[in-house]
Amino acid sequence: MTVTLLGFPWDASSSHARGPALAPPIIRALLYSDASSPYSLSGVDFRDVVASQDFADLPENADACRAAISARIAEAVQSQAKPVSLGGDHSVTFPILRAMKAAHGPVNILHIDAHPDLYEEFEGDPFSHACPFARAIEDGCVANLVQIGIRSAGPDQRDFGKKHGVTMLGADALDKIPFKKLGGPLYVSIDLDGIDPAFAPGVSHPEPGGLSTRDVLTILSKLSAAPVGADIVELNPEKDINLATAHVAAQLVKELAALMA
């Protein structure tokens, strides 16, 4: 199975700072840069796995943008490729999951994030980057949702999570991850702000007390199912320091591609 790398340069659904739309070409440039090796930790050369790429622009209208994202995921799946999507803000994940549902039925989701992203709406926008998993649950895209790194959930999102059977874990509860809920079809969504800002400072909403990069790599190494798709979102290059966060994103692309191969 090959992987297709998709860039979704969209950040108009962000609630605070713009910037993530700049991320996809920066992550791609690092992936193919001489600064780091092409190998995953398990020794897979991502260049042998990533068979195609699509970094085309998106429509400026939000509805049209989401439709375009779903269409590009559907196209990837139809050509027998597993999509690794580079955001963009986290709002891109709902249209991705709609297309994954069409191909695979409801998926199990490993979601790394400081935030549950389960708001009914945020600042009047039900498709905000604070809402994608609420929309995905309502749309029937989700079998199990396991959130790790959460450290910003108020009562509203906790209640929504409880009502819908979401597993919501902080960065201090890595020994409680229910890996048995993360069988196939498995989707992985990594919001880089789930990682501690010491390791990943280039995000719009830094929340100290998060996962280390090593924690995330260890979690990925414990997955028993090969993911059918994944996204890495919320890199804000305008906040990054010496490309530190972009390097984390590039490493995660290599690891996810190796898992999918």
Within 221-250, the residues that bind Mn ion by CB under 5 A are none
Strands in 2-8's sheet, in edge-to-edge order, are: 50-54, 2-8, 81-87, 229-233, 186-191, 107-112, 142-148, 167-169
**# binding residues, Mn ion (CB under 5 A):** 7
Nearest approach, Cβ of 256 to Mn ion (angstroms)? 17
Comparison of 50 and 188: residue with beta carbon closer to Mn ion: 188
What CA–CA distance (Å, rounded) separates 93 from 189? 8
Comparison of 48 and 172: residue with beta carbon closer to Mn ion: 172
User: Does 196 sit near Mn ion (CB under 5 A)?
Assistant: no
User: Does 255 sit near Mn ion (CB under 5 A)?
Assistant: no
Question: 20, 58, 119, 193: which one contacts Mn ion (CB under 5 A)?
Answer: 193
What CA–CA distance (Å, rounded) separates 19 from 253? 20
Comparison of 193 and 215: residue with beta carbon closer to Mn ion: 193
Distance of CA 222 to the CA centre of its chain: 18
Tokens of 8: 């979704």
Question: 11, 113, 231, 240: which one contacts Mn ion (CB under 5 A)?
Answer: 113
- Binding window for Mn ion (CB under 5 A); candidates: 21-29, 47-55, 72-80, 188-196: 188-196
Comparison of 2 and 164: residue with beta carbon closer to Mn ion: 164
Spatial contact of 129 and 117, defined as CB atoms under 8 Å apart: yes
Q: Is 2 exposed, middle or buried (0-12, 13-18, 19+ CB in 10 A)?
A: middle
Comparison of 113 and 196: residue with beta carbon closer to Mn ion: 113
Nearest approach, Cβ of 44 to Mn ion (angstroms)? 27
Nearest approach, Cβ of 195 to Mn ion (angstroms)? 10
Tokens of 215: 């924690």
What CA–CA distance (Å, rounded) separates 257 from 2? 8
Nearest approach, Cβ of 11 to Mn ion (angstroms)? 12
Question: 98, 115, 247, 254: which one contacts Mn ion (CB under 5 A)?
Answer: 115
What CA–CA distance (Å, rounded) separates 112 from 191? 6
Three-class secondary structure of residue 58 per DSSP: coil
- CA distances from residue 73 to 32, 103, 195, 246 in whole angstroms, order as listed: 23, 10, 26, 23
Is the bond into 105 cis (omega within 30 degrees of 0)? no
Nearest approach, Cβ of 194 to Mn ion (angstroms)? 7
Nearest approach, Cβ of 136 to Mn ion (angstroms)? 12
Site string for Mn ion, 62-91 (x = CB under 5 A): ----------------------------x-
Nearest approach, Cβ of 133 to Mn ion (angstroms)? 8
User: Does 11 sit near Mn ion (CB under 5 A)?
Assistant: no
Point out which residues bind Mn ion (CB under 5 A). Answer: 90, 113-115, 117, 191, 193
